[in-house]
Structure 1
């Protein structure tokens, strides 16, 4: 993260976009957040019912600073839309987290306060932290990290696909996805691999330097953009127990069809994906005391 910034002269002209899931799951927290925001700013309230309406509200906000009331999916949807509009760098985004705890893990890991009142006050009077962003070669965005292969979804939230790839929303679809991951991701190691352990046939490159090729089985690859220095941390775990850590601006994973998880979203199968770090690409409102730490 870079040094904190003030939200700007228009910081108290807000567009408050309330995700429909938040309205259904915790209307009381939504009401409290609205009251706090209306008391401290000139807030225009938007109540989209579909992803398309959500996107239009953000795209037509004018000079108003966006505040999203919702969970991790709402945060990701907002960042992705601002990125598509090429307005992410100029926006100071705030989130008031509303939802079950498992659906808010990403937001809290980024520094968003817990609780509607604290988060709404941060949206009004907090400081802007600039954060790195991972952008893939299909113009998708990643706020936290990438896991290849995609690990099984945590019980209770954050599952499914939101974005490229098929949409999985039900419990049956989640279990179908897990079974599919087992079938498509776990491949036998080549002869001579230590212990005959299973592994993925993947080619992993960091800034053009080959880390692993298809003839060396890999158990997992993770890419995280949270260093705040314009570099991603790349961790490769092999089927034989070796762990390699490097930092790079761009990471490419390729090979037979594989799936991956970016933040809370499942993607794939794909045969190649490149993630590139964009330094200080977006701003998130966090408590001023935390920003100064």
Structure 2
């Protein structure tokens, strides 16, 4: 066992090319901290195919992603499609500025390179839920339909660090923020003709346009909020599966616009993936 690796931890560190380009200094610092604290194999992929090959050959190493939300989603999506996600321990050092690391902030991953790298080495593995869709895609944080009605990311408090809560409290706060929607001072733009079903129960239909539909994975369920175009309170519920259909629509999931599609079903999967977070 190496002196630099007192616990026997072995890491596969996948450094996203975008991270190397946009913030080489933070990327270097994170790599150096990880290499000083564990036996680390460094992977510098140039594209998605090289990421897939590296992850497929990870062996018993814990996979660490250095990069923004998209970099992590690429690895999580790959493992999900390979049906290996639930059995693969992951860790993450976010590199980038908001909104490119919004998912990291919402999950409670430190946004500073040193703090995040130390959390990789000293943190606690937690099993997290997600939303899996019928096209073999995943949503880690939440989604909005239509895509133009996404909520704005809250500003990071002065001092550079995101606020810290216990995992349970942070999850509840995330759900509340995602599902509460814009205030009356920020009315929803336009409207959408959507049919929304939760566990087979019809919540909205095409003849009654809505302002927005928001879905997030919390405590093993899909939390749903349907915001009307007017200022009345949204309809809220939770379910195992949620289906949205209607004329071609786009939706924003994990801060990325996807679609257009005419129908999409999301299923809440509890404890679907393993991520190391601060203890």
TM score, norm. by length of structure 2: 0.81
Equivalent residue, structure 2, for 1:231: 221
> Are residues 1:209 and 2:201 paired?
yes
Counterparts in 2 of 1:1-293, with a 5 A limit?
12-151=9-148, 199-225=191-217, 227=218, 229-242=219-232, 243-288=234-279
Equivalent residue, structure 2, for 1:189: none
Structure 1: 5+ residue stretches without partners:
1-9, 156-196, 289-293
**Residue 99 of structure 1: CA displacement?**
1.2
Equivalent residue, structure 2, for 1:177: none
**Residue 198 of structure 1: CA displacement?**
5.5
- Deviations 1:73-116 (CA, angstroms, capped at 9, x unpaired): 11111111111121111122111111123211110110101211
Structure 1 window deviating more from structure 2 (96-105 vs 72-81): it is: 96-105
Counterpart Cα distance in 2 of 1:221 and 1:22:
32
CA RMSD of aligned residues (A): 2.0
Counterpart Cα distance in 2 of 1:12 and 1:255:
49
Change (3 A) 1:153 1:50: farther
- Deviations 1:171-197 (CA, angstroms, capped at 9, x unpaired): xxxxxxxxxxxxxxxxxxxxxxxxxx9
Counterpart Cα distance in 1 of 2:61 and 2:120:
13
- Deviations 1:205-248 (CA, angstroms, capped at 9, x unpaired): 000000111111111101001x2x21111000122334100011
Query: Matched residue of 1:80: which SS?
Result: helix
Change (3 A) 1:86 1:148: same
Structure 2: 5+ residue stretches without partners:
1-6, 153-188
Counterpart Cα distance in 2 of 1:236 and 1:152:
12
Counterpart Cα distance in 2 of 1:18 and 1:153:
29
Contact persistence 1:249–1:276 (CA under 8 A): yes
Query: Matched residue of 2:45: which SS?
Result: coil
Contact persistence 2:29–2:114 (CA under 8 A): yes
Change (3 A) 1:206 1:11: farther
Query: Matched residue of 2:117: which SS?
Result: helix
- Deviations 1:24-83 (CA, angstroms, capped at 9, x unpaired): 111111111111111111100000011111122112211110001111111111111111
Query: Matched residue of 1:109: which SS?
Result: helix
